């Protein structure tokens, strides 16, 4: 993750993220916005879920997560996804 995140260690958490390779080809994930269940703009902007497994809870900045891609990053821009 590009930044530190804290989640409930009692659950497997699927964070809505924007993921893309950096300049050396390492995939980086950033929060796509608010993670509350009613925040659909973050889902529209996201291209992947960052999976934080049950029992982990915290992920430090630079920490590894599993990415579940659901949209290839080049198929739609953030502006296209959010209508702006």
Pick left, alpha or beta for residue 10 (phi over 0 → left; psi -120 to 50 → alpha; otherwise beta): alpha
pLDDT at 30: 93
Domains for the chain: give ranges and CATH numbers.
Answer: 5-82 (2.40.340.10)
56: helix, strand or coil? coil
The CA-based dihedral angle spanning residues 20, 52, 31, 64, taken in that order and rounded to the nearest 10 degrees: -40
Per-residue model confidence as pLDDT tens for the chain (84 residues) = 999 999 999 999 999 999 998 899 899 999 998 888 877 888 888 999 999 999 999 999 999 999 999 876 556 666 776 766
d(CA 58, CA 40): 23
């Amino acid at each position: 993750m590009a930044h530190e995140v804290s989640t409930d260690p009692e659950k497997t958490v699927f964070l809505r993220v924007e993921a893309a390779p950096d300049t050396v080809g390492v995939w980086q994930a950033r929060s796509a916005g608010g993670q509350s269940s009613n925040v659909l703009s973050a889902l529209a902007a996201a291209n992947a879920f960052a999976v934080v497994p049950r029992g982990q809870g915290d992920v430090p900045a630079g920490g590894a997560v599993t990415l579940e891609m659901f949209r290839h990053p080049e198929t739609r821009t953030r502006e296209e996804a959010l209508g702006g």
